Amino acid sequence: MSAFRAPRWGKQTLAMPLGRANSGWRGCLLASIALMAASTSAAFGQQQGPSSFGLDLLRGAIAEDPSKSQRQAPPPTPPPADATAGPRGQVTLVGLVAEDGPRIEKGLVWRIFGARNSDGKPRVTGTYRDASPTLQLAPGEYLVNVAFGRANVTRRITVMPTSAATEPFMLNVGLLRVSAMLGNNQPVPANAVAIDVFSDDRDQFGQRQRVVTGARPGRQIRLNSGVYHIVSTYGDANAIVRADLTVEPGKLTEASVIHQASRVTLKLVRRAGGDAIADTQWSIINRDGDIVKETTGALPSHLLAPGTYTASARSQGQTYRRTFAVRAGETAQIEVMAQ
């Protein structure tokens, strides 16, 4: 078996369009993806692929929520009641990036499950943070879950008495890194952008499962290989870029999103250039009639995608409105007259 201290990611570049913005926001997006990919491999001998069962059994027993649900399997055969008596078997657990890929030498969390508790949930018999733990276990069947970031796999192993075995676990893990830029090719402040990642699986209502919430640009995210939907939000309103992309095992997928947005400050005044009226309730409405943002204050400021909007200001029981246009890269102060 060949061992590597850490997976090495080679480079191969492919440009492709990233996606479309929401229909009511009129051209708020320009995006590109650079796909950098390669995989390193090491001969492992005969390897066993991960089974798809097990994660449903682990719900409620693992603090970290697995990124994908899997089919239920029968509970593992419990080890002998007296776990301290009788011959034991030795098992060495090994995590691999992908089939024929390098070993993962850090960042793994292993959980071993034996018989069920009285509440029907599988019992954790051990948690290990070694890259490749060697365990002495009573003969029987166990469920083993290994997690590497948000990538994970679960399968059954069988421990035989007085035997020594090596159990490889192929996580099929890939890396995703998203960077964010403004339309003038300037980087967006990292704390101004939040990136959500959704799996391609949908529930009975057609909703995707969120697997990452509020990630910052430039961060490498470990994910199971598969298709994902990303949503990059600049600010707290509607400057949003969406895209579908594929994460492949042993490869780095790098996406660069370009936000087109402008900062708009709202101000309710009794005369042009006058003081802002405090405690004003604001609604920003796009041309399709959808409310983009609601806020309260004398001088609220928000990042908006290019387009046409209506600012609705309510103060002392009266409502005042003004329609205005937003252009990418501009900073504007919109005065609404209280008359």
Where is the domain boundary, 214, 230, 256? 256
Find, among 305, 213, 292, 324, the residue nearest to 258 by Cα. Answer: 305
Mean pLDDT computed over 97-117: 88
What is the reported pLDDT for 120? 75
Q: Show Cβ contacts of residue 201 under 8 Å, excluding neighbours closer than 6 positions.
A: 68, 69, 208, 209
* 181 and 36 inside one domain: yes
Q: Show Cβ contacts of residue 44 under 8 Å, excluding neighbours closer than 6 positions.
A: 1, 2, 94, 96, 100, 168
Range of the domain at 194: 15-40+173-256
What is the reported pLDDT for 186? 87
* 68 and 161 inside one domain: yes
Where is the domain boundary, 170, 198, 222? 170
Considering the domain boundaries, does residue 227 fall inside one? yes
For the chain, the straight-line distance linking the first and the last C-alpha, in angstroms and rounded, comes to: 80
Question: How many C-beta atoms lie closer than 10 Å to residue 70's C-beta?
Answer: 19
SS3 55: helix
Q: How many helices (H) and strands (E) does the chain have?
A: 1, 23
Where is the domain boundary, 170, 198, 223? 170
CA distance 87 to 140: 11
Radius of gyration, CA atoms only, the chain: 27
| CATH code: domain of residue 145 | 2.60.40.10
Find, among 17, 8, 9, the residue nearest to 253 by Cα. Answer: 9
More confident residue, 50 or 294: 294
What is the reported pLDDT for 170? 93
What is the reported pLDDT for 47? 35
CA distance 152 to 168: 13
What is the reported pLDDT for 6? 45
Mean pLDDT computed over 5-17: 40
More confident residue, 7 or 237: 237
* 187 and 138 inside one domain: no
pLDDT value at 60 more than 50 = no
Beta bridge mates, 146: 110, 153
What is the reported pLDDT for 260? 93
CA distances from 5 to 43, 70, 185 (A): 15, 30, 36
CA distances from 103 to 49, 129, 252 (A): 14, 15, 17
| Average per-residue pLDDT for the chain | 80
SS3 191: helix
Considering the domain boundaries, does residue 49 fall inside one? no
Residue 74: pLDDT band by 50, 70, 90 thresholds?
low
Looking at the structure of the chain, the number of domains it has is: 3
* 185 and 227 inside one domain: yes
Beta bridge mates, 315: 318
pLDDT value at 178 more than 90 = yes
Mean pLDDT computed over 97-106: 88
| CATH code: domain of residue 31 | 2.60.40
Which pair of tokens denotes residue 266? 């709202």
More confident residue, 219 or 202: 219
